[in-house]
Chain A
Amino acid sequence: MAKPNTPVIEIKDLKKHFPVKKGLLRRTVGHVYAVDGISFSIGAGETLGLVGESGCGKTTAGRAVLRLVEPTSGSIKVEGTEITKMSKAELRPYRRQMQIIFQDPFSSLNPRMTAGDIVGEPLLVHGVANTKERNEQVAALFARVGLRTAQMSNYPHQFSGGQRQRIGIARALALGPKLIVGDEPVSALDVSIQAQVINLLMDLQRERQLSYLFISHNLAVVEHISHQIAVMYLGRIVEHADTRSIFTRAQHPYTEALLSAVPVPDPAIKRQKRVLQGDVPSPVKPPSGCHFHTRCPYAVDRCKVESPPLREIAPGHHVSCHLR
């Protein structure tokens, strides 16, 4: 049993560099620094929102946490157990502890399997071989995520996007995991359906003490569901704090810019918009020093040479910026 204060998942200095190969001999000519040394931990029943622009490495980070892509270096601990170097066979029991929900509710379900078979598959892989027993468990999962058990024999194309996402959630729940990585789980859904799915996820969290790593580019959604938020930019976490602090006392200029892009549903409120200039630099050749200096309105000479460490500027509030 895990000690009460052991986080469900603890990530230290996780890196994932994809080699860029060129030419006939497939020589490595460089690396994509998709995830470049991130650390965080998530306790039981807690949600960490991981936000950032597309291409900042947040999806790769989610995949690397589950070892769906092999991390280049760093450490992943599940309830205190190091799983980074485990073989596939050793890893299998830990797979039960952590599952994933995908962004695209269409490509995440095998079009040739029935919804019941899809949700039952994790059980099958993990040894619930008895068909009757499996069907009962699948039926219970269907009921829990708000689908009718009669729909178990239907195929994915017969469901709507929101229903498909519920199937994906049921599949992720099947093994009774402690951690669920949600890779933009609501980004492909209509706004009204988004709320339903988010509420379902929050209910499930309360009920089962689930931990979420919630990856999203939508700050409004993340604010609603997360306890802490980590902001990623070009493979690094630039600011990490509890949700309230991020929304009231954001310190990093990048976080400020992200926040100012969130629409406020009140036309009377006039805000100073900080619109970032330019695009995210290439993760193959990230800028020297602070990765953000090319777009930062406050950048000074020091930012171009020296990479700022992630410092704790207030209890639990970490920022990687020379100026704070």
Chain B
Amino acid sequence: MAIINHEAALARAGANVSGFWGQSAFLARRYPLGAVGAVIVLLFVLTAIFANVIAPHDPLSTNSRASLAQPGGSYWLGADFMGRDMFSRIVYGARISLAVAVGATLLGGILGVAIGLMSGFLGGWFDLATQRLMDIMQSLPLLVMALVMAASLGPSLENTIIAIAIPLVPSVARVVRSSTLSLREQPFVEAARAVGMGELRIAIRHVLPNTLAPLIVLGTAQLGSAILTEASLSFLGLGIPEPYPSWGRMLSESAAEYVRTAPWLVIFPGVAISLTVFGTNLLGDALRDILDPRERT
């Protein structure tokens, strides 16, 4: 199944689409907002990968003389109460926050897709049971569910990802199930059945690709709420354990106390979170269009 290889179609549109750079340039011109999103996301990913090169200070080392240092000087974005460099902490925090956000969204997405597809395809009692379970899960707020999960699993990076992923499952399962229900009755699915294709293969080849558009939109939205949920969990001591930097906890632990006296402690992690969410949303919107053959000509 070809997803990105549409050189012929793009070439007809009069674009230079030879090779990766040509295609990227073409897509960037066609979806400028998506390009902005891609650049933002790429920036954060690179920051996370090269955190040890970029960060000027050790994000964990404290310095009592620099406590609540203002931005400027050797502390570009200031320092927190314990004198830890904010810039370095944000740079390192990219690792944890992106790992949690991407990990939780992917895990929740995979589980949700599996449950939604099975629910839609098998129907009957399986469908009824899983959907009522999803109802129960959706009736609880995301944070409450994540809290219960995190409290029973204990604080660590992996457990935080799981704790945030599970509550994301129902909405994905719902979206996939409802499109599956309508797609499995489509004549093109019947045609696949008529040639003797197995149900599992039909689900993966014919149904899943056609649920992609709502999934991408949902996924990018969930990326943002995963970061925010992680912030709340960590603030409550159930997420990423101290002293490792996560944007969410940096934001939430200083919000109440220092927002008047040292606002940079709140502003910069907040900017990092917002930018990431903003970037993924822009990228997601563009991806949805790029991956849809109907939008391409």
Contact = CB atoms under 8 A, between A and B. Distances in A.
Contact of A111 (B187, B194, B197, B210): B210
B34 to A, nearest CB: 20
B204 to A, nearest CB: 12
A313 interface: no
A223 B175 CA distance: 46
Contacts of A104: 187
Given A107-B186, A171-B191, A95 B294 contact: no
B187 to A, nearest CB: 4
A174 B297 CA distance: 28
B196 interface: yes
Contacts of A125: 192, 195-197, 201
Prevailing SS type, chain B contact patch: helix
Nearest to B8: A153
Contact of B193 (A68, A113, A155): A68
A258 to B, nearest CB: 26
A109 B1 contact: no
Given A110-B206, A158-B297, A121 B187 contact: no
A103 B191 CA distance: 12
A126 B195 contact: yes
Contacts of B1: 112-113, 117
B294 A100 contact: no
B190 A121 contact: no
B3 to A, nearest CB: 9
Interface string B148-192: 000000000000000000000000000000000000001110111
B185 to A, nearest CB: 9
A111 B195 contact: no
Interface in B238-282: none
Given A153-B8, A155-B294, A158-B297, A109 B195 contact: no
A91 interface: yes
A109 B212 CA distance: 17
Contacts of B195: 95-96, 99, 121-122, 125-126, 174-175
Contact of B210 (A68, A112, A168): A112
A108 interface: yes
B190 A68 contact: yes
Interface string A241-281: 00000000000000000000000000000000000000000
A224 interface: no
Contacts of B194: 66, 68, 95, 98-100
A194 interface: no
B22 interface: no
Nearest to A156: B293
Interface string A153-173: 111011000000000100100
Contacts of B8: 153
Nearest to A157: B294
B209 interface: yes
Nearest to B189: A110
B293 A102 contact: no
Interface in A49-69: 63, 66, 68
B196 A111 contact: no
Given A122-B195, A125-B197, A108 B293 contact: no
A83 to B, nearest CB: 12
A121 B1 CA distance: 11
Contacts of A102: 187, 190-191
Nearest to B186: A107
A102 B194 CA distance: 11
A92 B294 CA distance: 33
A202 to B, nearest CB: 22
Nearest to B125: A26
Given A157-B294, A158-B297, A109 B188 contact: yes
B2 interface: yes
Nearest to B295: A157
A110 B188 contact: yes
Contacts of A112: 1, 209-210, 212, 292-293
Contacts of A108: 186-188, 191
A39 interface: no
A60 to B, nearest CB: 13
Contacts of B190: 63, 68, 100, 102
B293 A157 contact: yes
A114 interface: yes
A118 to B, nearest CB: 8
A299 B209 CA distance: 54
Interface of B: 1-2, 8-9, 186-188, 190-198, 201, 206, 209-210, 212, 292-294, 296-297
30 contacts: A63-B190, A68-B190, A88-B196, A95-B194, A95-B195, A95-B196, A96-B196, A98-B194, A100-B190, A100-B191, A100-B194, A107-B188, A108-B186, A109-B188, A110-B188, A110-B206, A112-B209, A112-B210, A112-B212, A112-B293, A113-B1, A117-B2, A122-B195, A125-B196, A125-B197, A126-B196, A157-B293, A157-B294, A171-B191, A175-B195
Given A102-B191, A112-B210, 4 more contacts: A112-B1, A153-B8, A153-B9, A171-B191
